[in-house]
């Protein structure tokens, strides 16, 4: 792990400054609403109803917010299955190397044939590459292997079918899975619940949450029966509740005083002791929910020791996807579990802080506190008897 000095200078390049300025979805949506040309290049947005992705300044008719998703790069938007808008031409100023373009085209083929059996040899023949080079290139560009990409597509199709099909088994087989057991192997962390529960709109899944004042501000912890699914910092309880509802719209969210839920009380107290009193970082069960790539990033973050930091490039290399630096940064931004999944330990390549969804000052304070504790442990261990 690298030991970067903790600088407080701002990012130097124009693109870095723009990406930091437009790091939050609310700010991005406002830029789209006013067609802000200054935001062009900092991010792209896709429209589910039309299947295209655009620059923020696109002159096309305004899309509905529920149909809009944001992407850090054009590669991410294309990998998600969206095509470039013909009006604003978002690819006009994007430099995509030939290997990246080929992998994007192959991802489109996998999307179109997700229900079929796609061997690595078949895909390699289509791409005119050896299976080894195809596997390595696809993972480097998209952050996941072709098999993981196809599995994620099948799960998305399964989610859609479960909302409409009368039969859970029928939805499973129609989505390209050869058996129900294969689905249940992939459920944890991706579908987030069993297929029958998802089809019922998440009925039966309960998430308890509680609040606590810590040295780093107001903290909310939420947990399912599998473990902690969210740890958030904020200024107001109402705003944190709204964010939790937006992320888990189908679950039964149950506010409880921490004392009324002994296990939750123990977990949030342990985290508060770590934050406010310098106690050890608690090792709590986590309910991670995300894409295959996001979970790989989060699992790597869990391996970074307290007092140490890595760059986004080192993070991408650490999960064997050295070209997926921006995607790795996006996975950090999508992390719902503050501190316990330590995305604050990732800095820019020049040692500057980068972004943090719970505030730059909080990120700086977390890193400085961990370094003080780390130095204290080292000093106590090197003292003479």
Distance CA 251, CA 270 (A): 26
Active-site residue flag, 343: yes
Tokens of 117: 């059996």
Three-state DSSP class for residue 183: helix
Are 121 and 92 spatial neighbours (Cβ–Cβ below 8 Å)?
Answer: no
Distance CA 333, CA 350 (A): 19
Residue 63 Cα distances to 23, 66, 160, 249, 263, angstroms: 20, 8, 22, 22, 44
Sign of CA dihedral 257, 263, 264, 265: positive
Please identify which of the residues 58, 88, 229, 343 carries the catalytic annotation: 343
Dihedral, CA atoms, 264, 291, 49, 18, nearest 10 degrees?
Answer: 90
Active-site residue flag, 229: no
Please identify which of the residues 54, 88, 229, 332 carries the catalytic annotation: 54
Q: Which has the closest alpha carbon to 289: 358, 243, 335?
A: 335
Report the chain's terminal Cα–Cα distance, integer Å: 30
HSE on the CB side for 352, CA within 13 Å? 12
If you ran DSSP here, which 8-state letter would residue 304 be given?
A: S
Distance CA 204, CA 186 (A): 20
């Amino acid at each position: 792990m690298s030991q970067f000095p903790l600088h407080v200078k701002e990012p130097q390049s124009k693109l870095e400054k723009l990406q930091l300025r437009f790091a939050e979805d609310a700010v991005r949506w406002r830029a789209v609403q006013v067609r802000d040309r200054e935001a062009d290049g900092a991010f792209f947005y896709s429209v589910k109803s039309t299947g295209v992705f655009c620059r923020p300044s696109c002159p096309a008719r305004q899309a509905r917010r529920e149909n809009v998703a944001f992407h850090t790069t054009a590669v991410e938007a294309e990998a998600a299955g969206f095509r470039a808008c013909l009006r604003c031409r978002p690819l006009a100023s994007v430099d995509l190397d030939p290997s990246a373009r080929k992998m994007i085209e192959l991802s489109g083929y996998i999307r179109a044939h997700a229900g079929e059996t796609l061997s690595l040899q078949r895909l390699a023949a289509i791409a005119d590459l050896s299976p080894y080079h195809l596997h390595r290139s696809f993972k480097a560009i998209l952050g996941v292997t072709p098999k993981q990409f196809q599995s994620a597509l099948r799960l998305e199709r399964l989610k859609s079918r479960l909302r409409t099909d009368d039969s859970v088994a029928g939805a499973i087989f129609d989505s390209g899975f050869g058996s129900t057991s294969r689905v249940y192997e992939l459920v944890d962390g991706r579908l987030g619940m069993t297929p029958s529960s998802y089809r019922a709109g998440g009925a039966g899944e309960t998430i308890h949450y509680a609040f606590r004042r810590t040295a780093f501000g107001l903290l909310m912890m939420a947990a399912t029966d599998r473990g902690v699914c969210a740890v958030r910092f904020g200024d107001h309880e109402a705003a944190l509740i709204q964010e939790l509802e937006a992320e888990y719209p189908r679950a039964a969210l149950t506010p409880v005083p921490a004392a009324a839920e002994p296990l939750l009380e123990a977990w949030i107290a342990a985290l508060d002791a770590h934050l406010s009193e310098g106690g050890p970082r608690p090792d709590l069960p986590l309910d991670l929910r995300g894409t295959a790539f996001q979970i790989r990033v989060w699992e790597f973050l869990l391996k970074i020791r307290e007092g140490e930091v890595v760059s986004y490039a080192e993070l991408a290399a650490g999960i064997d996807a050295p070209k997926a630096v921006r995607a790795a940064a996006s996975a950090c931004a999508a992390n719902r579990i503050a501190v316990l999944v330590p995305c604050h330990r990732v800095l820019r390549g020049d040692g500057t802080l980068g972004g943090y969804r719970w505030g730059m000052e909080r990120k700086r304070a977390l890193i400085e506190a961990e370094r003080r504790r780390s130095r204290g442990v080292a000093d106590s261990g090197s003292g003479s008897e």
